[in-house]
Each structure stands twice: as C-alpha cells, then as structure tokens.
Structure 1
Amino acid sequence: MSVLYTIVPLEEVLAGWQAEEKINQGREVWVEGVYMQVEPIAPGVGKVIRLIHCGLDDYLNPQLSPGAVVKY
C-alpha cells in the first residue's frame, strides 16, 4: 500500500486512469507472423491496437496499422 501526499486535486491525479484500463483490455495474438494486441470486436475478429513483435516493414503495412480489422 502506498500513500501519496500532494496538493494536486484528486481529479487531476486520477485523470486518464480509466483510459489505461481500456487499453489493457486487448488480447495479444499472432496474425500472419506478427504478434499484436487487438481489441476483440467479434469472435475471431479484432481491431489492431498495437504491434508488439514484428519486422520493420510490417509497420508500413496498412492492413496491420492501428484501427485495422484483422482475423485471428
């Protein structure tokens, strides 16, 4: 347990805290040899959040860009 002593209002200290929870709800999967984090939108289908392990050329592939829909 930690205690935080600050003059900053609690609302500012906790700002963005819920946004982190949404990011962490993704599922990590392999798609076409690329390890990525996706947000499930249907069984076996997800929206790309980020690429975790891939080649440099994969970052230029529009089918693997954040927001793209992939099947896993």
Structure 2
Amino acid sequence: MTIYSIMPPELVFDGINTEPGPYVSLIVGDVTLQIEAVSPGVGRIVRLLEAPLDAYLRPELSPGTLIPYGQPTT
C-alpha cells in the first residue's frame, strides 16, 4: 500500500499501534450501543450494535455523542 500525503509520517501514523479503549455494551430502550468510557459515568458512542432502522436517524444516538451510563463512583 502506498500513502501519498503532504503531512509528515509521524502525524499520519500517530497511534497506529495503540489498541482502542475498552468498550462497553449498553442497552438504551430498544437500542444496544457500543460505548467507550470517557470518564466515570460518561461514555462516547462508538456504534449501534442492534437497533431498529429508525434509530440510525436519531441525532442523540450518532457516533461520537457523549451519554451518561451506569452509576458514577465517588
């Protein structure tokens, strides 16, 4: 594979060897989400695992959205 870029290779390949964070499955109503923990009690939606078709059009369920989950530990 050849990559043509004006950016330095250090920026292009930054993070290529790091594993993504631990993911958690969360059920919200009739939707099963895969989220990545950002802080205690807050997660970022990675993708929808199981959902009715109209759930993909809901902006509050779009990937990258921060949502509360679980009980925050203090």
- Is it true that 1:71 corresponds to 2:68 in the alignment? yes
Q: In 1, distance between residues paired with 2:34 and 2:63?
A: 10
Q: CA RMSD in A?
A: 2.0
- Mark the runs of 5 or more structure 2 residues left unpaired by the alignment: 1-12, 70-74
Q: In 1, distance between residues paired with 2:65 and 2:17?
A: 23
TM-score normalised by length of structure 1: 0.64
Aligned-residue sequence identity (percent) comes to 39
- Mark the runs of 5 or more structure 1 residues left unpaired by the alignment: 1-14
**How much has 1:32 moved relative to structure 2?**
2.9
Contact 1:31 1:71 in 2 (8 A): no
TM-score normalised by length of structure 2: 0.62
Number of aligned residues: 56
- Is it true that 1:39 corresponds to 2:36 in the alignment? yes
**How much has 1:43 moved relative to structure 2?**
1.9
Counting helix residues as a fraction of each chain, which structure ranks higher?
1
